[in-house]
Each structure stands twice: as C-alpha cells, then as structure tokens.
Amino acid sequence: MISYGHFIGGKNVAGKSGRTAEVFQPMDGTVRAHVALASKAELTEAVANAKAAQPDWAATNPQRRARVLMKFLDLIARNNDELADILAREHGKTVADAKGDIQRGVEVVEFALGVPHLMKGEYTDGAGPGIDSYSMRQPLGVVAGITPFNFPAMIPLWKLAPAIACGNAFILKPSERDPGVPMRLAELFIEAGGPPGILNVVNGDKEAVDAILDDPDIKAIGFVGSTPIAEYIYARGCATGKRVQCFGGAKNHMVIMPDADMDQTVDALMGAGYGSAGERCMAISVAVPVGKATADELIKRLIPRVEALKIGPSTDSGADYGPMVTQAQVDKVKSYVDIGIKEGAKLVVDGRGFKMQGYENGFYMGGCLFDGVTKDMRIYKEEIFGPVLAVVRATNYSEALGLCNDHEYGNGVAIFTRDGDAARDFASKVQVGMVGVNIPIPVPVSYYTFGGWKRSGFGDLNQHGPDSIRFYTKTKTITSRWPSGVKDGANFNIPTMG
C-alpha cells in the first residue's frame, strides 16, 4: 500500500497530523494509497521552507531558472510512461488520455522557458527633462496553487511552471483524490536541479486550504475546482489581501447550425461529451441543435454511437473512456439522471446499469443521452460532471445564442457551422471565455490564456500565457534623474513632464 506524505524542503516527509484519506484505484475500486491530510502547523512549516529558499531563487538569473525547467521537462519526458500509469490508476482516465493530460501541462512549462523575455520591463529614455522612466517585474515571494482531481498533471503544471520561472517559491495543494503525480513531479523538480523549498507539495483537505488562505506569507493563490469552493477561496483570499484567481465549474454548450457537417459534428460531440467520462471542465454537456430537422438528425445519429461507447479499465488502450474518480461521483451523476427523468426530459440512452465485466467493483458508468431538455431543468442549470449529454432544441440561431449567454456558467462554448458570418457573429457576441468554431474543446494553446467568464472564473487575470507572468509578478516603475540632469529648484506643485 502506497503512503503519501508531503514534499517539503526538497524531500518527502511523513504526515504528522494523524489524519489521512484513501486514494482509490477507480478501475477496480481498490484502495491504492493513503494520503496524509496536513494540519495548519505542517502548512506553516512548508511556507517557512519556501520563504527561506525564495530570495536566492529570485536572485538566480532568469536564464538559469529556465534551464532548471528545461531539465525538468526532459525528466517528465523520460518518466512519461510512469507518470501516465500513476495518473490513470488514481484518476481513472485511460493511459492515452493521461498522456494528453501530461502533455497539456508540459506545453505550459515550455512556454515558461521564455521567462527571460517574458519578464522584461519597459524603458523610456527622456520621459522628461533629464528623466528616464522604466519598469521591472519582480516575483511575489511565496505563492500557492490549489488544484482539482480531474487534471492532476496539467493543472499543477499550469500553476507551478510560470510561478517558479518568475522566481517565486510554490506551495501546491493538489486534490487529495489523486496526489501521486504531483508528488512525483516534485521529486523530478529536485532531480532537475531545482533548489529545495522552491516546489513544495502539501497534501490535505479544507484544513490545509484554510491554512493557505490565512497564512500572511502566501502572497497569491491560484485555484481550480468547483464554483462553490472557487467563490469561497476568492472571497476569503481577497479579504486577507492576497492576489487570487479562481477557475470554477462549467456547462459548455455546442450550437449545431443546420448547415454543419454532421459527420464532423457527431464525432466532435462524442469525444467532447464522453471523453474522460465527462470529467473535464471543457467537456460539452449541452448540445443545441438549431431547427427541428437538425435536432432529429442529431439524435438519430447520436443514439447508436452512445450505445456503442467502449468503456474499459484505464489500462485498456482501446477504451473510449474509463471509470469515474470515485463511487460517490458515480452515485451523484446517476442521481442527476434520475432528476432529469423526473423533470420530464427524455432519456434516450440509459447507461446507469452498465457493469464492467471482470471489474465489478470499479467506478463505471455508461453513457447517457437526454433529448427534450429545457432551460428550467436542474440537469440543464447545474454541472453534472459525468458521461451525460443533454440536448436542448432551439428553433433559431438567436435562441441558441441566448441559451449560451443566459447560462450562469461561461467557461467554454462551440459552434458547428459552414457559415462564416454565423461563426463570426457567434464568436463576437457569446458571453463565454473560450470559443471553438468547429472545434469542440477549445482549450487555448499555452501561449494564449485560459479562463472562463461569469461563474466559471473569478479574478482579473487568466491562467497560462502572458497573464500567468502578470499574475505571478508585481510591476515596479522607476522614474530617475541623475545630478547632471536639469536642475529646476524646489517645486511645490505636482510634478509634470511639461
């Protein structure tokens, strides 16, 4: 049985709180590991280590910091199979999908290699008489990331890579449901030459999170998870004067116009709706066909595809998706299907009874498809986070756009059409942070930024891309004049550049 403690000051340390949680292996329902749940004192110890290590790291020139990340990348590549295996075993997603999870994180580490350029300030020669003006970006100090279960490699890497590249020390509080990959990444960072104390992993639950929120030495928090927790962390973190960005839940729509290529649309919807058992913040959970003919054709094509979904253990390379993260998650998703039926939606494919032969104790759920979902139903309004797709029929484009805009979540959205005018209008008017045109999961590339609108995102700056450098640094602006500059005597008015 694996036992995860914490990674503090460059080494694995045992938990001291006496509290632990079980980490499951969803494909067969066994307990794979126990993870320590940190007390406030353990979090404080990690912060003290980070605080002691940070000034030297900040004083290490950015090119050298980038070189450590380059070696870190090399080690991630060399240990890719092991990382993907841990990830698949603890999360449940297939090994192939786990490799994508790691790769999307790796791309942000690659972006962070550009830190010598990205952190450059600005300079104006002669902003006034004998006066020059310039700005510099400096690290914040100790910063923290609190991450969800569903991307245990990608999201920790999105947070830690830019933060560390900018010269900060980082405290990662990963999900207690799949801590194995974050712990291994911390070891690889040390193997890459990262100084002890710069990347720390503190495992835990609400107690560790609250300790992060209240610690005066933590200057910024990047959170990803469900919306109620995002709102809690944003409010409490801001109240204690920290810089906070929180990314929350989603209900991503795909609008299907009558002229859409139906083969492409159905393929896209299957992958985006059911991949990773629907446990993606960018999963499509609502399909909005425009017009009755489009809707009828869509449902006709989807039914056999959803019925034929290949569900398998995480190690099965031929599976479309694997088990869900916990039995509790399966139960929650099934209860939403029950609610949908009671609300009057038409369940045209029912995957609730699915059993995986040979893995009867695993956390599996078959694909479900609802037709006739309306906007007052809970299964439309709330995030389900499972392999359940809701079809909401719209009579025209304006109604489809209105659905996307009126929904309280605004993470991702897609339109499928051959009409450039419709696509352009949609991209401009939709009130959602990330938009796909004939792309079902429009996760931006690493050098753009990622973030939702409305109740999907809280804070001014997005994650990864140039915003991540802005988030993890503070700007200082210097106005300077040397004694040889113009001497204009004492000036009792507000100085201007004339």
Give the CA distances from residue 187 to residues 9, 51, 243, 373, 388, in Å, rounded to whole numbers and listed in that order: 11, 19, 28, 48, 37
Q: Spell out the residues 6+ positions from residue 91 whose beta carbon is closer than 8 angstroms to its own.
A: 26, 98, 149, 150, 152, 177, 178, 314, 325
Between 53 and 324, name the residue whose CB sits nearer to ligand NAD.
Answer: 324
Q: Among 229, 390, 422, 434, which residue interacts with ligand NAD (rule: CB under 6 A)? A: 229
The residue among 99, 36, 23, 94 whose CA lies nearest residue 326 is 23
Beta bridge partners of 474: 138
Between 65 and 91, name the residue whose CB sits nearer to ligand NAD.
Answer: 91
In contact, 4 and 180? CB cutoff 8 Å: yes
Between 209 and 290, name the residue whose CB sits nearer to ligand NAD.
Answer: 209
Does 247 contact ligand NAD by CB under 6 A?
Answer: yes
Judged by CB under 6 A, the chain residues 448 through 477 that form the site for ligand NAD are 452, 456
Q: Measured at CB, which residue is nearest to ligand NAD?
A: 225
Does 441 contact ligand NAD by CB under 6 A?
Answer: no
Q: Please give the span between the terminal C-alpha atoms of the chain, in angstroms, as a whole number.
A: 73
In contact, 384 and 351? CB cutoff 8 Å: no
Does 225 contact ligand NAD by CB under 6 A?
Answer: yes
Q: Among 39, 94, 168, 175, which residue interacts with ligand NAD (rule: CB under 6 A)? A: 175
Question: At closest approach, how far in Å is the CB of 411 from ligand NAD?
Answer: 5
* Cα–Cα distance for residue pair 239/400, rounded to 1 Å: 38
Judged by CB under 6 A, the chain residues 115 through 174 that form the site for ligand NAD are 146-151, 173
* Strand arrangement, sheet containing 142-146: 11-13, 6-8, 199-201, 169-173, 142-146, 218-224, 243-247, 457-458
Does 176 contact ligand NAD by CB under 6 A?
Answer: yes
Does 434 contact ligand NAD by CB under 6 A?
Answer: no
Q: How many CA atoms lie within 13 A of 475 on its CB side?
A: 12
Question: At closest approach, how far in Å is the CB of 422 from ligand NAD?
Answer: 27
Active-site pick, 166, 246, 281, 368: 281
Judged by CB under 6 A, the chain residues 381 through 420 that form the site for ligand NAD are 383, 385, 411
Between 151 and 471, name the residue whose CB sits nearer to ligand NAD.
Answer: 151
Between 247 and 321, name the residue whose CB sits nearer to ligand NAD.
Answer: 247
281 is catalytic: yes
The Cα diameter of the chain in Å comes to 88
Window 256-295: contact mask with ligand NAD (x via CB under 6 A): -------------------------x--------------
Give the CA distances from residue 436 to residues 299, 426, 445, 449, 457, in Å, rounded to whole numbers and listed in that order: 22, 10, 12, 14, 18
Between 86 and 224, name the residue whose CB sits nearer to ligand NAD.
Answer: 224
Question: At closest approach, how far in Å is the CB of 35 from ligand NAD?
Answer: 11
Q: Among 117, 206, 418, 424, which residue interacts with ligand NAD (rule: CB under 6 A)? A: 206
CA 121, 125, 127, 129: dihedral to nearest 10 degrees?
Answer: 150
In contact, 431 and 410? CB cutoff 8 Å: yes
Q: What angle do CA 452, 454, 458 make, to 5 degrees?
A: 70
Size of the site for ligand NAD (CB under 6 A): 26
Question: At closest approach, how far in Å is the CB of 204 from ligand NAD?
Answer: 7
The stretch among 74-82, 242-250, 256-264, 364-372 that binds ligand NAD (CB under 6 A) is 242-250
What region, left, alpha or beta, does residue 399 occupy, with left being phi > 0 and alpha being psi -120 to 50 degrees? alpha
* Cα–Cα distance for residue pair 457/410, rounded to 1 Å: 8
Question: At closest approach, how far in Å is the CB of 203 from ligand NAD?
Answer: 9
Does 252 contact ligand NAD by CB under 6 A?
Answer: no
* Strand arrangement, sheet containing 473-481: 123-128, 131-139, 473-481
Judged by CB under 6 A, the chain residues 350 through 379 that form the site for ligand NAD are none
Question: At closest approach, how far in Å is the CB of 282 from ligand NAD?
Answer: 7
Q: Where are the beta strands (DSSP E) in 189-345?
A: 199-201, 218-224, 243-247, 252-256, 284-289
The footprint of ligand NAD (CB under 6 A) covers: 146-151, 173, 175-176, 205-206, 209, 224-226, 229, 247-250, 281, 383, 385, 411, 452, 456
Q: Which amino acids are annotated catalytic?
A: 281
